[in-house]
Amino acid sequence: MEGLSTLLIKAYPGKSKEELEAVRAFGAWSRALSARVVENARPVKLFRGTLTVHTATSAWANSLQLESDALLYALRRKAPDAKVRKLVFRVGAMPSMPAQFAVGAQTEPFVPATVLPDDIARELALIRDDALREAVAKAAAAGLGEEPRVKPARKRF
């Protein structure tokens, strides 16, 4: 199975390592924080570990700066390999969110599923966390072009 870094390189050919880290950090921002924060603050740049975030107002910039330690912790949990060490908030133009990250966006259902190859299914069975196993199965299926039907793993004691 391919690692996330390899898949990102394939998905974004020609991007530098720094640009791929920014992709991870920007995606983590959308997943790690509340819809209200994402609606009023958007990352615009990642440079040498500092994530610059534009906010809708100075009040948002000030409030988020005060909460930067908690926000940084949440980001690191969602994307530990994005290498975000510091957050900087500024009032500025907020880029539009991609459709899949937009607040309230609904993802389209997958097409009917087929069973993943045996070697992938065996590796998935070793993942104890149900939510993580499902997420990895969906990622593997996306790489194969279809959603899997994952058989529940046997419980180990």
- pLDDT, residue 42, reads 92
Query: Domain range for residue 63?
Result: 4-91
Please count the other Cβ atoms lying within 10 Å of the Cβ belonging to residue 31.
13
Strand partners of residue 52? 45, 88
**Whole-Å CA distances, 82 to 24, 28, 38:** 6, 9, 18
As a whole number of angstroms, the distance between CA 40 and CA 52 comes to 14
114 domain-assigned: yes
**pTM assigned to the model:** 0.55
CATH number at residue 21: 3.30.300.180
- pLDDT, residue 84, reads 87
Predicted confidence pLDDT, tens digits, the chain (157 residues): 556 556 655 665 556 777 777 878 888 888 888 889 989 999 999 888 899 999 999 999 999 999 999 999 988 888 777 788 999 999 998 888 665 545 554 444 443 335 667 777 788 788 888 888 888 887 777 766 544 455 555 555 5
Residues 49 and 121 in one domain: no
Residues 23 and 85 in one domain: yes
Of 59, 91, 123, the one marking the end of a domain is 91
As a whole number of angstroms, the distance between CA 99 and CA 106 comes to 9
14 domain-assigned: yes
Residues 44 and 83 in one domain: yes
- pLDDT, residue 20, reads 76
pLDDT tens column, 15-41: 677 777 787 888 888 888 888 998 999
Beta strand pairing status for 86-91 and 41-47? unpaired
